[in-house]
Structure 1
Amino acid sequence: MPVILRLNAQHIMSIRAHAERTYPEECCGLLLGKSDPTGKTVMEVKATKNGWNDDQNDLTKMRRYEIAPAEMLAVMQEARSHNLEIIGIYHSHPNHPAIPSECDRAAAWSQYSYAIVSVLNGTSADLQSWSLDDRQVFQPESLLITP
């Protein structure tokens, strides 16, 4: 059964605006909300800093992102204090499709949704969400955008 990720229009606008602000580097952030058997519901979008160290393997923030463990822990504690959980991660793909890369797959956790927004020449384009199945393969998630 496909996973449904429910967001509202403001959440989508926040993700797109963050991606355009950080272009040509990748942006990243966390999706806070609740999970249930019918899917996941985003209650808050939390922008984070791309903490990727550009000295790693000659790869730069234009092709990689990393959320610092301390920032992830702080957001997790904040979410819990509001009776929410981290249900997903979002990031951008500058001048590339909103399709997970091998690097995205290698770093992914099966309990999270992964929303990816393609940013073409500074303008956000396609936004898709993915989840990792039990074979460690990304599967598309249905996006349900509420008013």
Structure 2
Amino acid sequence: MLAVLKLHPQHLQAIRTHAESTYPEECCGLLLGKLAEDGKTVVEVMPTENRWNAEAVEVFQEIEGSAKLGSDKRDRYAIAPKDMLKVQKLGRDRQLDIIGIYHSHPDHPAIPSEFDRACAWSVYSYIIVSVQQGKAGDLRNWSLDDAHQFQPEEMIIVETT
């Protein structure tokens, strides 16, 4: 499958708006869409609550890149399993799949952290939006290569017809 993610301008705007609304904490959400030979197509952006807390710290403490985990949502996010299942079921009912995850980096670049990499799944696209001083800026898309390293993944903005 080609490493390309197709989405509409309103999808990007929804991500940026969500990121600004949660600043200075990280936002997170899921991308519902379709997988095809020519890439992944976003149909809907599904915001979720950032469930990062002390319990998440315990669950993730063994993961590479988690040396200084704290329960601060300013530099971590977690999507609750029940939220993933809810969106997965909603997608299945509409013949859609979860094709990616998005999150924000408050006052940091839109570049994945080592922790982001360690937690990532190879089939997903990962959109990261940098939020500087409360304003969404640089937005980049990433996917994992065969060596489980993030590489830039092309985004194609499709205008609504």
Are the equivalent residues in 1 in contact too, given 2:2–2:38 (CA < 8 A)?
no
Q: 2:54 & 2:20 partners in 1: Cα distance? A: 20
Cα shift readout 1:28-81 (whole Å, capped 9, x = no counterpart):
000000011211000000000000005734241000000000110010000000
Contact 2:2 2:37 in 1 (8 A): no
Code of the aligned partner of 2:50: N
- Name the CA shift for 1:54/1:20 in 2 (closer, same or farther; >3 Å): farther
Distance in 2 separating the partners of 1:110 and 1:9: 25
2-structure distance, mates of 1:27, 1:65: 7
Structure possessing the higher radius of gyration over alpha carbons: 2
Q: Where is the strand percentage greater, Structure 1 or Structure 2?
A: 1
Q: Where does structure 1 lack aligned partners over 5 or more consecutive residues?
A: none
List runs of 5+ in structure 2 lacking aligned partners.
58-68
1:19 CA displacement: 0.1
Q: After the TM superposition, which parts of structure 1 deviate over 2 Å for at least 4 consecutive aligned residues?
A: 54-59
Partner residue in 1 for 2:65: none
What's the C-alpha RMSD, in Å, of the aligned pairs?
1.3
Q: 1:128 to 1:12 in 2, by over 3 A?
A: same
Counterpart for residue 10 of structure 2: 10
Q: Distance in 2 between matches of 1:122 and 1:100?
A: 19
Between the aligned partners of 1:66 and 1:16, the Cα distance in structure 2 is 18
